[in-house]
Amino acid sequence: MRRCAACRRIAPKSELVRFARDPSTHQVHIDPDQRLPGRGAYLCPNPNCFRLALKRKSLERALKAKVAPEMLRIDHSP
């Protein structure tokens, strides 16, 4: 079980989209297979959660790194 960084809903990991911060470059990537190394954070595959994460910068806080706004403007449903 994981928590959405935007709406705070708890859901199984398989129902959420994982974002991972690369440990060496600190760049944030979408992790569709949920296997990339590094710090991870999750969002519901709901466009409202992506907008909320962008507005509140909750994904940036969770990952402790900058997230490109264009990464959150596209629906990244699994």
Residue 77 belongs to a domain = no
Which residue range forms the structural domain that includes residue 18? 2-72
Residue 21 belongs to a domain = yes
CATH of the domain at 23: 3.30.1230.10
Q: Which two tokens stand for residue 65?
A: 């790194």
This prediction's pTM: 0.89
Residue 16 belongs to a domain = yes
Number of domains in the chain: 1
Residue 74 pLDDT: 57
- Does 78 have pLDDT greater than 80? no
Residue 32 belongs to a domain = yes
At 39-70, the pLDDT tens digits run 999 999 999 999 999 999 999 999 999 998 88
Residue 71 pLDDT: 84
Residue 56 belongs to a domain = yes
Taking the C-alpha atoms of residue 9 and residue 24, their distance in angstroms, rounded to an integer, is: 30
